[in-house]
Structure formats: structure tokens, C-alpha cells
Structure 1
Amino acid sequence: MKFSIQRDHLVQSVNDVMKAVTSRTTIPILTGIKIVAGAEGVTLTGSDSDISIESFIPKEENGDEIVEIKQHGAIVLQAKFFSEIVKKLPTDTVEIEVQNHLQTVIRSGKSEFNLNGLDAEEYPHLPQVEEKNKFRIPADLLKAMIRQTVFAVSVSETRPILTGVNWKAENNQLICIATDSHRLAMRKAHVETENNDSYNVVIPGKSLNELSKIIADTNEPIDIVITDNQVLFKAKNLLFFSRLLEGNYPDTSRLIPQDSKTDVVVHTKDFLHAIDRASLLAKEGRNNVVKFSTLTDGIVEVSSNTPEIGKVVEEIQSQSVEGEELKISFSAKYMMDALKALEGTDIKVSFTGAMRPFVIRPLHDESTLQLILPVRTY
């Protein structure tokens, strides 16, 4: 194998596939990156057997030559060393050549590295995904849907299914739901499905986090293919495979209250900053709890009190408060996570009593919802 390539393209692809490579793997060859030089260009692959990422660098793009292939072939190189080398090479072009016994030479300018390669035949094959069930979604919408839900997955392995995000697609609508049983995040969007199929799968939160780091903030379409145990995201020159979590996701629709006793409309940023300040003195206390109460004339109060540290009280002028008076306590962290995930300047918070879950939505937007369970403090 022998080819020369533009360094910036190589660095970008290496960075992408490195997101799937881990040093903690039971299969030693997976600590490497597989590099294949073929007729069309160069393909890099990284995998930890849960996530696999394949990045393709075409021979030319928009009339510019990116790769010059001199000899076809394949090799696996230690990811840790290869990625560091590529980032620090001195010139804009890199030549990679595999010589006898998998010895690989990396040249750039006056610098030359020799790395011991591994046999690419031993590298596990990527999952074979039949593309009969697929739908399409713009990249920026996909990133937004991940950002607005993935933070609410559980970090505890006691219920593994909750470490993933539930994706349900039916009637050309995709619904993403994440919950750790103390809070819930939901986002809906219109998608183009073929044959109007319906799906109900759980994608690991870790996979979605890595995916959103790689895909660009454009409205380029991304194809999503779902099988029994894998999901494949196809972007331009990029394939991202993830295994699905096994098991049934709990029915969360029962958690979301349909009616409310107190509705508060408030400016998102003002509310977020007030809770942030209140949490300064709550950090040491029980789970970072802040209290929220409605006062007269549409004023709401955010406070926290930790006897050994001190207390903070802040009043915010809401746009409206309707319904019963209310005092409730909740985790400041959960509330701040939820507010940061919502788009829009104003939000409506609907309460159904001091010990019932409450719902936060952007005003005039039914596609997004955050739900939080209160904390018992009284």
C-alpha cells in the first residue's frame, strides 16, 4: 500500500474515527485504526465493538486532488501513536507506505516515522446493515434533537435501558425520549420515512454524544438506517454504526401530566440565571436543592437555604402566574440542564402540586418538553 494525502483531510478523518477507539478493549486490534487505500480513495475505520465509525477521503473533491493512490492495500496502525504523529507532521502532504512485514513508513517533509502495523485481515468486519428501513433528517435538526434529550439519560448501570435514548418513529414523526427516572426530556420532529414504517429502539446515550461531535452543523441530510440490533447514521463520506440497547423502554407517556394547577410564564434567561445564583449556596447541601414559590402580582421567588453556609433569596417578575399558589423544591442542576436544552426566549412551567412532576415547555412550541420530579423538603 502506498499513497500520499493532504494532511488536513487526514487529520479530520483520524479525529472522527478516534471517537470510536478506546484503550479499554478486550480485542487488542481495536486499539488501532484500519486504513484502506482503494481505487476511489482512502477509508479509515475505528471501532470499540459498540460504536464503529468509517470515514472516507475521496481522491478528489471540487476538482482538488486530495489523495494520490500509488498502490492499493490495507493496514491497521496503533491509533494513539498514529493520531499524534499525523497532527504534528511538518508539511501539508503526508505519504504513507507499507513495506515488508507490515512495517509502515509515514513521511512528511524531512520527517519520517516507522510504525509497526497489524494485519488488516484480522480487523473485525463492520456490521452489515440492510438498507430497507431508513429515514432522513437534516444534520442540524439531528444535533438539536440529541442535545435536547441526551443529557437526561441515566448514568447508573442499574437499569441499563435508561442509559439510552428511546427513538420512536411513526406517521412521519420521530419522538426522542430520555429519562433517568428523576427527570425526562422529549423532542418531536417531522421526518421523511420510506414506506411509512414505524420503529421503537433505544440508542446508547454515549453513541449519540459521539455522533453529535462528528456531524457538521449543516442542513445536509443524514440517512438513518435501523435494524434489529444496530443503527447506522450515513452522512457525506461518513458512516457511524452503533449497537442498540436490548430490552423494552418504559412507557413514559403516563408520567406526563395532562392538566395543571399552576402555570407560570417566565423569561428563560432570567429564570436560568436566578437558579444558577440560588444554587451557589445550595451546592454543598442536599442534592443542590432550590425552592420556588409564587407570590402576588406575578412575582415568583427562587431561594435556597443551607444552614451551615447561608441563604439566598431572589424575586423574578414573571409574565403571568395562573392558578393556585405554590411552593415547590427541585434540583437546581436538573432545572438548569432543562432550561439550557430549550430553545426560545420564554417558557411555560406547568405544576400539578408540590409533590407531582412538573413540565417545562417553550412558549408556543409543542415539539419540546422537559419534565422534572420535585424534591421533598418540607
Structure 2
Amino acid sequence: MKFIIQRDQLIASVQDVMKAISSRTVIPILTGMKVEAKHHGITLTGSDSDISIESYIPAEEDGNVNVEQIEEGSIVLQAKYFPDIVKKLPEKTVEITADENLKVTIRSGNAEFNLNGQDAEEYPQLPKLQTDDSFEIPTDLLKSMIKQTVFAVSTMETRPILTGVNMKLADHKLSFTATDSHRLASREIPVPNANTEFPNIVVPGKSLNELNKILADSEEKVEISVTNNQILFRTRHLNFLSRLLDGNYPETSRLIPDQSKTVIYAKTKELLGSIDRASLLAKEERNNVVRLSAQGESLVEITSNSPEVGTVAEDLTVSSIEGEELKISFSSKYMMEALRAIDYEEVKIEFTGAMRPFIIRPANEDPILQLILPVRTY
């Protein structure tokens, strides 16, 4: 195997693939990165058996030559050393060769590294997903759906199913839902051209976080395919494969109240700032509890007190308050994460009483929903 490649292209691909490689894997060869050279381009692969990432560098694209002098072949390189070597090479191009004894030479300018490789035949074959049942959505839209939901997954392994995001595709609508049983985040988008449906799959939150880091913010489409235990996200240069979590996701729709007694419309940034300040003194408490009381037609008071530390109170003028007066306590961390995820100028918050879950949505009724359970304070 031999090829000469643009170093910047190689670095970008290596960094993507490294997100799937773990030093803690039980299969020793998976601590390495597979490099495969074909005449049309180079494919790098990394996997920890939960996530697998393939990054493809075409030999030529849009008139630019990325890879030349390709002699076909494949090798597995030690991921512990290879990325750092590539990053620190002196020139813009890198020549990589591997001989039949699995000895790898990496040259750039006057620098030359010799590494011991491993036989690519021993690298596990990635499952090839049938892509008949696939659909496409713009990459930037997928990224925003992940950002608006994945933070609410559970970090506790006691209920493994809650460490994932529930994906549903039905009636040409795609929805993401995440909950850790104290809060819930969901987002729905129309997918008019989807010819397939899947009722209920759960993608590990960790997989979606990694996918979100790798995907570029572009309107280019990402193709999504699902089989019984895997999901594949595919763009022009990337295959991202993740296992799915086993089990049934709880029915979350019944958690969402259908009527409200108090509705507040507020500017997201102002509310976020006020809760952020109140949380400064709530750090000692286990839940960082902040209290909100709504009086009159536009005045909200945000307070927090820690007996050992002190108290904070702030009056905030909001756009409007409709319905009953209200006093409610909640986790400032959950509230701040929900407001940041919504990412709209104005939010609508619907309460059904001091001990009932409340809902935060964008004021323009865009189908993003955040639900938080209040905290009982005495």
C-alpha cells in the first residue's frame, strides 16, 4: 500500500475517526485505526463496537487533487501514535507506505517515522446496512435537533434506556425525545419525502454527541438508515454507525399537561440571565433550586436562598403573565439548559400549579418542547 496525501485533509479525517476509538476496548485491534487505499480514495475507520466511523477522502474532488500515487492496500495503525505524528509533520503532504511485513513508513519533508502496523484482515467487518429504508434531512437541522434534546438524557446507568434519545418517524414527521425522569426535551420536524417509518428506536446519547461534533454546519443532506439494532448516518464523506439501545422507551406523551393555569411570555436572554444570577447562591443545594413567583400582569420575582450563604432576589419584567398567581421552585441547572436549547428570542412557559411539571416552548409555537418537574420546598 502506498499513497501521498494532503496533510490537512488527513488530519481532519483522523480527528473524526478518533472519536470512535477507545483505549478501553476489549478487542485489541480496535485500539487501532484502519487505513484503506483504493484508486478512488482513502477510507479511515475507527470503532469501539458501539460506534463506528468511516471517513472517506476522495482522490480528487471539485478539481482538487487530495491523494495521488495510490497503490491499493490496507493496514491498521496504532491510534495512540498516528494522529500526533500526522499533526506534527513538517510539510503539506504526507507519504504513507506499508510493506508485506506490516511495516509502515510515514514521510513528510525530512521527517520519517516507521511504525508497526497490524493486519487489516483481522479488523472486524462493519455491518453493511441495507439503505432501502432510508430518508434524508439537512445536516444543520439534524444538528439542531440533537442539540435541543440530547442534554436531557440520563447519565445514570440504572435505567440504561434513558441514556438514549428516542427517535420516531411516522406520518412524515421525525421526532426526538430525551428524558432523565426529572425533565424532558423534545423536537419534531416534518420529513415530507420520507418513504419509510420506524416506531421507536433509542440512540445512545453518547453517539449523538459525537455525531454532532463531527457533522459540519451545512445544508448538505445526511441520509439516515435504521435496521433492527443499528443506525447509520451517512454524508458524502462520512459513515457514522451506532448501535441502538435495547428495550422499550417509556411513553412520555402522557407527562405533558394539556391545559395550563398560568402562562408567562418572557425574553429568553433576560430570563436566562436572571436565573443564572440566582443560581450563584444556590450552588450548595443538591438541586441548585431557584424560586419563581409571578404577580400581576408582567412582574416575575426570581429568588434563591442558601441558609449558610445568603439570599438573592431579582424582579424581572416579562412580556405578559396570564392566569393565576404562582410560586414554584425548580432546578436552575435544568431551567438554564432548557432555555439555552430552545435558542429563540422569546419563550412561552405554561404552568399547571406549583407541584406539576411545566412546559417551555418558543413563543412562535415551533415544535420544540422542554418539560421540567418542579422541586418541593418547604
The interval holding the TM-score normalised by the smaller chain is over 0.9
Separation in 2, partners of 1:67, 1:192: 38
2:149 equivalent to 1:149: yes
Q: Does 1:38 align with 2:23?
A: no
- Percent identity between matched residues is 61
Residue 276 of structure 2 is matched in structure 1 by 276
Say whether 1:159 aligns with 2:159.
yes
Report whether the alignment pairs 1:60 with 2:60: yes
Structure 1: stretches of 5+ with no match in the other structure: none
- Other structure's SS at 1:286 match: coil
Match of 2:86 in 1: 86
Would the aligned equivalents of 2:3 and 2:96 in 1 still touch at CA under 8 Å? yes
Matched, 1:354 2:330: no
8 Å Cα contact 1:171/1:196 also seen in 2: no
What CA deviation, in whole Å up to 9, does each residue of 1:90-115 have, x standing for no partner? 00000000124101000000000000
| CA–CA distance in structure 1, aligned partners of residues 246 and 198 of structure 2 | 18
User: In 2, are the aligned partners of 1:179 and 1:185 still within 8 Å (CA)?
Assistant: yes
Partners of 2:366 and 2:256 lie apart in 1 by 13
Given that residues 75 and 120 in structure 1 are in contact (C-alpha distance below 8 angstroms), is that contact kept between their aligned partners in structure 2? yes
Equivalent residue for 1:216? 216
Matches of 1:69 and 1:135, distance apart in 2: 37
- Secondary structure of the residue that 1:80 maps to in structure 2? coil
Q: Note the alpha carbon deviations across 1:38-96, whole angstroms, 9 max, x for none.
A: 12111000000000000111111111111013311100001120000001100000000
Equivalents in 1 of 2:165, 2:99: separation in Å? Answer: 46
Paired AA for residue 223 in structure 1: E
Shift of 1:199: 3.4
Deviates more, 1:144-153 or 1:337-346: 337-346
Distance 1:326 1:356, change over 3 A: same
Contact 1:134 1:193 in 2 (8 A): no
Task: Give SS of 1:349's match.
Answer: strand
CA distance in 2 between counterparts of 1:327 and 1:156 reads: 30
Comparing 269-278 with 57-66, greater Cα deviation is found at: 57-66
Query: What SS does the aligned partner of 2:158 have?
Result: coil
Say which is worse superposed, 294-303 or 346-355, in terms of deviation: 294-303
Superposed CA offset, 1:232-283 (max 9, x none): 0011111000000010000000000000011111110000000000000001
Greater shift in the superposed pair: 286-295 or 265-274: 286-295
Misfit runs of 4+, over 3 Å: none
Deviates more, 1:192-201 or 1:109-118: 192-201
Give yes or no for contact 1:38–1:69 (8 Å, CA) kept in 2. Answer: no
In the other structure, the counterpart of 2:111 is 111
The match for 1:328 is 328
1:102-147 CA distance string (max 9 Å, x none): 0100000000000000000000011121112111100000000000
Alpha-carbon contact 1:37-1:69 (below 8 Å) kept: no
Instruction: Tell me how far 1:200 sits from its aligned partner.
Output: 1.7
Aligned residue type for 2:188 = K
Unaligned runs of 5+ in 2: none
For the residue of structure 2 that corresponds to 1:228, the secondary structure is: coil
Shift in alpha-carbon separation, 1:71–1:286, aligned structure 2, 3 A: closer
AA at the equivalent of 2:93: T
1:244–1:307 distance in 2 versus 1, CA, 3 Å: same
Tell me, yes or no, if the aligned pair for 2:39 and 2:70 is still in contact at 8 Å. Answer: no
Is this contact kept in 2: 1:20–1:47, CA < 8 A?
yes
Instruction: Count matched residues.
Output: 378
Query: Following the alignment from structure 1 to structure 2, what is the Cα–Cα distance between the partners of residues 263 and 194?
Result: 36
Q: For the residues of structure 1 that align with 2:266 and 2:333, how far apart are their CA atoms? A: 18
Supply the distance in 1 between the matched residues of 2:83 and 2:196 (Cα, whole angstroms): 42
Match for residue 245 of structure 2?
Answer: 245
Name the structure 2 match of 1:69: 69
How far does residue 361 in structure 1 lie from its aligned partner after superposition?
0.5
| C-alpha separation in 2, matches of 1:107 and 1:90 | 10
**For 1:274-333, what per-residue CA distance to the aligned partner results, in whole angstroms no more than 9, with x for missing partners?**
000000000112310000001234100000000110000000001111111111000000
In the alignment, which residue of structure 1 is the partner of 2:132? Answer: 132
> Match of 2:287, SS?
helix
- Offset at residue 193 of structure 1 (A): 4.6
Matched position secondary structure for 1:29? helix
Task: Find the residue that maps to 1:225 and give its secondary structure.
Answer: strand
